[in-house]
Structure 1
Amino acid sequence: MYDVIGLVIPFFGLIFVGFIAARITRRPLDDLGWMNTFILYVALPALFFQLLSNTPIEQLTAWGYIFGSVFSTFVIFSLMFVASAVLSRGDVAQSTMKGLAAAYGNIGYMGPGIALLALGEEAAVPVALIFCFENIMHFAIAPTMMALSGGKHASPAALALGVVKKIVLHPFIIATAIGVAAAALEFRPPMPVERLLDYLARAAAPCALFAMGVTLALRPLRGMPAEMAPIAMLKLVVHPALCYVVLSWIGDYPPSWVYAAVLLASLPTATNVFVIAQQYGVWVERASASVLVTTCLSVLTVTALLYLITSGLLPPDLFPGR
């Protein structure tokens, strides 16, 4: 248990430091803009490039693994979406946001840091694969469902173009594509460039976690919406459990790959859910609440999951020898 605490304290500690710093300094959230730019456009892309460019190309085409992790996330989204649509009598926009809150984990800011810290460099490839393909799914779902809700009257061609642009032009996905190309060509950048990329990659997780703590501090929770309980249960418990079962059923993957997928599935609601809610003017305050509530609860759930993994109580394959 001491080893688990040693993993969790630096990770969640950075979020807490950001939270306290924001409470003490009382600077507006807009002041975080340049740090978010650095994280989004520089540090995390450098991290993903470094992870993928050093990977044998055959490891980057594990389609069964990609399908299993993305399918698990889609099932969670669908469960929350359908339940909300039934209860709200067909409110597609609000149900979409609830589905995203239950399924869209903080795999960008939190994922690489905790997976690499807990599982080592061998978790780099599965983290990058899951991040890339799950974000493609989320980038496609949000604008499509919002268009179906009637919030924005765009032609099918304009909608499709918007979805493609969100996917193709996202800095993480561009970095992933360049990293895969570098791996295929066995290209290594010159030593000074590689050293710069290393510095940037090492800054990604600390800066992202600090920024997340600041964001949580400056978006206070006003009341506890009733839907937070099922969202938190789906995101923090059901999602990782389903991912574990599906990947165990699909194939015989290395333990670090299975554990990386389960860890990423266990992460709290992504701050991007709040950004999407603001973009469409739907469910904004409750999206912020879902990020805050699931992040606070994840201190307990992620710690418990790490304990199960590090103590050997969670086997890497639920169906060995199948």
Structure 2
Amino acid sequence: MKRTLMAASLAMASALAWGQSSVALYGIVDTGIEYYNNAAKGGSFAGMPTLTGEAPSRFGLRGEEDLGGGYKTFFVLESGFAPGSGSLNYGGRLFGRQANVGVSSAFGTLTLGRQMNMSMYALFNADVIGPSIHSMASFDSYLPNARSDNAVGYMGKFHGVTLGGTYSFGRDAAGPAGPSATNCAGQLPGDAVACRQYTMMLAYDGAWGGAAASYDVMYGGPGASAPLTSSADVDKRTIVDAYVKYGPAKLGGGWIRRNTSAEQHAQSDIFFLGATWYVVPTFSLDAQTVRYILREHSNSTLLIARANYFISKRTTLYASLGYMMNSALAANAVAAAGTVATGANQLGAMMGIQQRF
């Protein structure tokens, strides 16, 4: 009898262990005051940013359940918002940053739903500035918003090597309200190519640093935002980058090639090189140079400097400076969601506070 009760108790304990689950609330609230000169309509601008500070503001729910045998199920629901007004970003979607569910094991992770794709993962380590108010997003607003709706994704990590890919049946269902909403839901009967997207990545990370390469192909669709207004229109991005760590410092750089085949073929290149240095554990400096070339049209160069003071593990004070140099036909703004007069150079600055939870 005792053996039977003991066996039953062990079986119940094992079942409870397999069914252990957790749900966490997390997020970032980041805002401040920004300034830039030479606005498109003349004069300067001073106010609160709508898209990002040092990082985009967000909140989310992340859950996980241990199924046993090395298998886990998970979900992520993540919303982006503008602290200045409380409005939702990402096309007004409640969970515009992520909304997915999946399974993970030693063989990798399978994810279904709206998720970050490989173009974003490829830049994580080499881009020391990230999705900041002054960043390479001034040249390509897709880069900090590289997510795919209706997507199936896989990522596996094996002895420092990462393999990943996503396939989307309809890459962006939200209407044209912001840089990450292009009204291309796809999944149209009789038009299998409309709004499809696939991305792939190969990366290596070690104690000294690492490197990554990704390839991103997206198709247009009827009624989608320009320039991808037809299923025959294609937008391709290739990213190659690397980074090196040395003590409290990191150096990262890379190249991004974009080819758009729409009414008129367009090709652009972004070259970036930056460094981060932790002067002391509570204070760091970031710097980056970004060169943008739109073939047979224009070019721009962006210089970025940023200082971070970590008051605590969750709270950071920061100051960011950006200086944009545009050629005669270029009109790339120094700040996210900013404007600039064509051919004008532009100075931008921001001081802000970030709280993580």
TM-score by length of 1: 0.28
Q: Which has the higher strand share?
A: 2
Q: Which has the higher helix share?
A: 1
Larger Rg belongs to: 2
Q: Which has the higher contact order (CA 8 A, sep 6+)?
A: 1
TM-score by length of 2: 0.26
